[in-house]
Amino acid sequence: MMSSLNSITDLRSVGFGQSVPEQSLWLLHWFANAVDINMNGDISLPFGPNSGDYGSHHYGNYEEVLGQPPRGYQYYSLGNIHRQGSLRLPQHVIQSEDENGNRARIIIRVWEPNDGRQTSQIIDRVYITQHYETSEHRGTAYDPEHIYEITTNLLRAISKFSINNDNINLLMSLRDHFRSSANDSHNKRYCAARKIDSAQCALRQQPRKL
């Protein structure tokens, strides 16, 4: 069953830099600040998701990692740095994706009425996922073991972490916060399962290099 991430606490449990590539965090932070969320929790996208902007394109769900969309809805994928339209992802997102194999993606489910009156794209589902690693020889398929639904509550929370071109360190601190929390949680579970006392358990955990 797919996990739903509703809070920063939920996000910490995922384990960025371990089972989930770190670039997923950079991409999610960008997305949270790119969309508009109104008081009712409706999410609107200020660009056409089939335009190639921000690495966007239609997603056919051929792997069936998601359910079939209802009538009038379509899935779109965002974050492919090799498919850039006139609007490009921020440089720190592109650099992270390039260094880590261009694997992280955001999938959105968009309502597309045919009345011609809609000026923005209304999103009712947001997912973060990733392609398999190249070494797994699975082509461009998404890994169904690493797909998470993202709620509007989490989007609002993560958007509050500010960043600009002169201060990438703020987002790096956020990444390290998630990473260290995930490491602590994994370490405690490991020690508890093996009945290792707290002093010896603390010695197991070595600082990770950035």
Q: Tell me, what DSSP letter sits at residue 68?
A: P
Confidence of residue 133 (pLDDT cuts 50, 70, 90): low
Higher pLDDT, 203 or 69: 69
Confidence of residue 204 (pLDDT cuts 50, 70, 90): very low
Which residues in 81-105 are b (16+ Cβ under 10 Å) and which e? beeeeeeebbebbbebbeebebbbb
Q: What is the pLDDT of residues 144-172, one digit of tens each?
A: 888 899 999 999 988 887 665 444 444 55
Asked if pLDDT for residue 203 goes beyond 60, the answer is: no
Average pLDDT value for the chain: 75
Residue 77's pLDDT is what? 93
Partners of 3 in beta bridges: 148
21, amino acid identity: P
